Chain A
Amino acid sequence: MRLPRIVHQFASPRYFYELSGKLVPWASGLLFALATAGLYIGLVLAPTHAEQGESYRIIYLHVPAASNSLMVYTVMAGAGLIFLVWRIKMADVIAAASAPIGASFTFIALITGSIWGKPTWGTWWQWDARLTSELILLFLYLGYMALRAAIEDPQNSARASAVLAIVGVVNIPIIHYSVEWWNTLHQGATITKLATPTIEKTMLTALLLMMGAFVLFYVSTVLVWARCKVLRNEVRSSWVRDLPPEGRNWLPMLLPVAVLAAAVFHGATTPREIVLTPSEVVNGAAAGTGNVILQGTVEAIEAQGPPSRFVLSDGQARVTVRFNGTLPRFFRTDWGARIRGSLREDGQVFDASTVAALNVRDHRRYVFTAYLLVMIVLGINLVSSRRCLRQARLAITRRIRREEVSS
């Protein structure tokens, strides 16, 4: 068995350190660019989900985190195998550096899934095959990190943890196929079936951008962790002492700035659709404006059309809507509706040109909590990996100074 040349090149700590130093700023710049684009499209441009309402926007965190939790584990186990068979030390460094990021992704997948599950399924947690196997993945990551920390001899620690990572790989297909093998609460996959349109295009674009951003987050963070570990392992090597002071490459950060500027420009120049509530209509917001969008809860269906008549409410005010057509299939009382139309001149009845049934519940606190938690978890990874590298560099400088003084 031969490994590709690049693996052997990467196996040299010095080569790795120099190459990764060039890669990290670009991976980070691209990561922030993709995330900015993904968040703008996903949170601002993408439409509401008919059944799940606004709560579905957690998908842009949940799915990338979940798919990457599997990807990172596979990389970790693969690196473990390379270390066990070919005894390449760099592979062990990469595996060790992957564990905290993989654990973070798994934690994010579990916590955002839980926050999403409450408003949609009606429960924070069920011992369903998908949820349980993902929880086992979190324990595998934590067990891996604990095992590494528990064995002091670096060689033994690396070997034992590599075996654990390789054995744990059995869980990966179980997680992936759990929704097909067993009866679960969790639904099947959306993205693997690109052939059939099971996700709207704007939503898909945002989701793919966020998946790319999560992959790049892994790439840039794992490289920083690995660089820190390389410096620590190689304190005594001469190349480490001869390292030039590292300047910061800010050029790649122009990418996210450009994307942000484009998003701001797009947001400022695109006319926003204003969605009115029944209260606003009663207070005269729709008077004389022509075509508007009105959203509320269906309080009563007075006539099943055509012509149809129903009452929309937001708890404070009511508006009667007339629609010259058949009401949509899932149109029902106590459920939301979004209509386009205009207010009659008498100011009492709304004439609808289109009627759509949708979930109008306020899910802002779920979505906000999910995004906040993810920012915190990823932020901790970002900061602690950079701090590790900075301290490793400082330790080397101090060591050199100490030796200069003593000689």
Chain B
Amino acid sequence: VNPKRKKRLVLASLIVAGVAVAVGFMLMALRENINLFFSPSQVAVGEAPTDHVFRLGGLVEAGSLTREDDGLTVHFVVTDTAEKIAVVYKGILPDLFREGQGIIALGKLDRSGVFRADEVLAKHDENYMPPEVADAIKTAQGDGQLKHPGTGI
């Protein structure tokens, strides 16, 4: 082995390893900032910055969606199957919003513990199925949406 080449190879590997470790520490330190949203459980144990605006992520609980008479204001419950948070939102919902869907809401908790959202986004899973198949799979799984890893929650 050419010693010069070996030295250069070791040097290059050391640089990459050093940078990887540094970036790794940085990402660990910034972990809370990199996470796009907090789950209802995280909010319950006080991990979320409840004194200002943050993002809440979870599934829209089945049967919890109600609309006010103005047609724009909606009430629903976001759950991660362990904890629940009631959400109020006035505005246009994304097309994929429905009960059982994973969503991310940006807003603030009010004094009564209700999350007042300014923006609601819909997540979608990594399954690519035509309508007939999707219906068949969902029916077979029953309440599969809640346990599905694809919702990210």
Q: Known A85-B9, A183-B152; judge A120-B130 contact (CB<8 A).
A: no
Query: Is A79 an interface residue, CB under 8 A from the partner?
Result: no
Q: Does B49 contact A (CB under 8 A)?
A: no
Q: Which of B35, B94, B121, B125 is the one whose CB lies under 8 Å from A187?
A: B125
Q: Decide yes or no: A183 and B128 within 8 Å by CB, A50-B135, A120-B122, A330-B138 being known contacts.
A: no
* Total number of B residues with any Cβ neighbor in A under 8 Å: 49
Chain A residues within 8 Å of B133, by CB: 50, 200
- Bound CA span A53–B124, Å: 12
Q: Binding site of A, secondary structure by majority: helix, strand, loop or mixed? A: loop
Instruction: Please tell me which one of the listed residues A184, A187, A357 contacts residue B36 in the complex, with CB atoms under 8 A apart.
Output: A184
Please indicate the chain B residues that have their CB under 8 angstroms from the CB of A190 in the complex.
126-128
Q: How far is the CA of A188 from the CA of B23 in the complex (A)?
A: 23
Q: 1/0 per residue A1-20: CB within 8 Å of B?
A: 10000000000000000000
Q: Would you give the shortest CB distance from B69 to chain A, in whole angstroms?
A: 16
Interface residues of B in 15-71 (CB under 8 A from A): 15-16, 19-20, 23, 27, 31, 34-39, 57
Complex contact A52–B36 (CB within 8 A): no
Complex Cα gap A50–B1 (Å): 59
* Given contacts A51-B96, A198-B126, A328-B139, A166 and B132 within 8 Å (CB-CB): no
Task: Verify if A189 is at the interface (C-beta below 8 Å from B).
Answer: yes
Contact A123 B152 (CB under 8 A): no
CB distance from B84 to the nearest CB of A (A): 18
Beta-carbon contact of A85 and B121 below 8 Å? no
B57 to chain A, nearest CB (A): 6
Closest B residue, CB atoms, query A77: B16
Q: Taking the complex as formed, is A261 at the interface, i.e. its CB lies under 8 A from any CB of chain B?
A: no
Residues A86 and B5 in contact, CB atoms below 8 Å apart: yes
Near B by CB (< 8 A), chain A positions 40-64 give 47-53, 56, 59
Give chain B's interface secondary structure class.
mixed
Closest chain B residue to A133 by CB distance? B34
Distance to closest chain A CB from B80 (angstroms): 11
Give Cα A52–Cα B37 distance, bound, in whole angstroms: 23
* A48 contacts B131, C-beta separation under 8 Å: yes
Q: Given B16, B36, B126, which contacts A183 in the complex, CB threshold below 8 Å? A: B36
B15 and A182: CB pair below 8 A? no
| CB–CB B128/A120 < 8 A | no
A350-392: which have CB < 8 Å to B? Answer: 354, 356-359, 361
Residue B134 lies at the interface, judged by CB distance under 8 Å to chain A: yes
Which residues from 111 to 162 on chain A have a C-beta closer than 8 Å to any C-beta of chain B?
A: 119-123, 126-129
Residue B123 CB within 8 A of the other chain: yes
A167 touches B126 (CB 8 A): no
**Taking the complex as formed, is A338 at the interface, i.e. its CB lies under 8 A from any CB of chain B?**
yes
Contacts of B82 in A (CB 8 A): none
Binary interface encoding of chain B residues 57-95 relative to chain A, with 1 for a CB under 8 A from any of its CBs, else 0: 100000000000000000000000000000000000111
Note all chain A residues with C-beta closer than 8 A to B111: none
Q: Which residue of A lies closest to B22 (CB)?
A: A170
CB distance from A265 to the nearest CB of B (A): 25
B135 cross-chain contacts in A, Cβ below 8 A: 50, 328-330, 356-357
A-B contact pairs, 12 of them (CB 8 A): A48-B130, A48-B131, A120-B122, A183-B39, A184-B36, A184-B152, A187-B124, A198-B150, A203-B128, A329-B135, A356-B134, A358-B131
Q: State the 9 A-B residue pairs at the shortest beta-carbon distance, nearest first.
A: A122-B94, A47-B130, A50-B134, A356-B131, A358-B131, A328-B135, A199-B128, A50-B131, A183-B35
Q: A59-B128, A120-B96, A357-B135 are in contact. List 7 more A-B contacts (CB 8 A).
A: A50-B134, A121-B96, A129-B35, A167-B15, A182-B35, A185-B104, A187-B126
